[in-house]
Amino acid sequence: KIPDGSDLLAHHFFHGKLNDSSVHSKAITYLSRAAQRARLDYANEAALFYLERALGLEIRWQWLADQTALLHLLGRRDEEQRSLERLSNAPNVPPTQLALSRSAYFEAISAYDQAIEQLKAAARNAMVQGDRASHAHCLAELGLIAWKQGELDTAESNYRSVLEILHGDGEFRGERADARYGLGLIYRQQGSYDAALGEFGIALASYQALGNRQSEAKLRIAIGHVENRRNHLDDALDSYRAGLDIYRMIGDRSGLGAGLVSLAQGISAAGDLESANQPLVEALEIHQALGDLWWQTIDLNELAINAMLVGRFDEAGRHLERGLSLSREIGDESGVAYALCNLGQI
């Protein structure tokens, strides 16, 4: 139940005499408020319900952008694509917003070339408009894609550019946190664990202050990975489970899949290889349903390693061959190298 009463008012006016302009206007107002309230409460299905009703009365690009973002969070890619098409045809949609919505969709299905194209277009528009927040967001997302593709220098350059653009400005705390998170990923990959935790700690504090639960969850997972690599396995598992709890609460299927892989890695590091398989299988099913090829390569590599460690080499080989094929498909050079390295050990 939405506590401010906007849901009841939305229901009342929506079922009123909508041919009366005053009733029509109030229905739109309260449907919009109910959707916003539901989003804040992570009542995602309720938010979609109110948005669809509002869109039935009037087409506004803001509502279509919100609908697209909700479907993205829930991992409903076919519906997200249809919502994107409606957003593309909406009156007065800002080019930056449209490009950002498109880039999020393409990144989620591992269509990185298209995602990069949209992010660069959004960045150009943001610069022309003097929109520093959107420009910084684009650079951070470009950094994340570069990191996924193993291009650490490019990723770091993008993240540092974000901090330079926003230097000395007390606003844009979330955008700066995104850059800190990205730098932490790079430090972690380089084995600089103290530096990684320093960046993650700054980002986590910012996300918590902003009430950004989705980003808080990804920080919990990221911190768990550092603790795992430092062999602090209990701390790692606690962090993974804390992140998973948030992802389940907010309905983020992509985050849930990523968190399950992390949990499996922690369980495997603790020596329970059989128990580690179940979350990996579940993660693979989620990522297949979402069409996320990059994460599928991670799932398959982890399943292969577990199979190798218990002597199931044929099974490991099948997982690695499939992961290798997907890595080549999305241009992930580090994924290709990783799969080939492991195949060489069979």
Q: Work out the burial of residue 255: count CB atoms within 10 Å of its CB; fewer than 13 is exposed, 13-18 middle, 19 or more buried.
A: buried
What pLDDT band is residue 283 in, cutting at 50, 70 and 90?
Answer: very high
pLDDT at 278 over 60: yes
Q: Which of 264, 281, 184 is nearest to 228 (CA)?
A: 264
Q: What is the mean pLDDT of the chain?
A: 94
Provide the pLDDT for residue 70. 97
The identity of residue 154, as a single letter, is T
Q: What is the mean pLDDT of residues 295-316?
A: 95
pLDDT at 1 over 70: no
Q: Work out the burial of residue 262: count CB atoms within 10 Å of its CB; fewer than 13 is exposed, 13-18 middle, 19 or more buried.
A: buried
Radius of gyration for the chain, computed over Cα atoms and rounded to the nearest angstrom: 22
Q: What is the mean pLDDT of residues 151-164?
A: 96
Reduce the DSSP state of residue 55 to 3 states and report it: helix
What pLDDT band is residue 3 in, cutting at 50, 70 and 90?
Answer: low
pLDDT at 209 over 80: yes
d(CA 294, CA 332): 8
Structure tokens that stand for 279 in this block: 């979350």
Provide the pLDDT for residue 169. 67
What pLDDT band is residue 152 in, cutting at 50, 70 and 90?
Answer: very high
Q: Give residue-wise pLDDT tens across range 114-124.
A: 999 999 999 99
Q: Is the dihedral of CA 151, 104, 116, 201 positive or negative?
A: negative
Provide the pLDDT for residue 2. 45
pLDDT at 16 over 60: yes
pLDDT at 168 over 80: no
Q: Give residue-wise pLDDT tens across range 231-277.
A: 999 999 999 999 999 999 999 999 999 999 999 999 999 999 889 99
232 phi/psi in degrees, rounded to 5: -95, 75
Which residues have CB under 8 Å from 47's CB, separation 6+? Answer: 35, 36, 38, 39, 66, 70
DSSP 169: -
What pLDDT band is residue 132 in, cutting at 50, 70 and 90?
Answer: very high
pLDDT at 340 over 60: yes
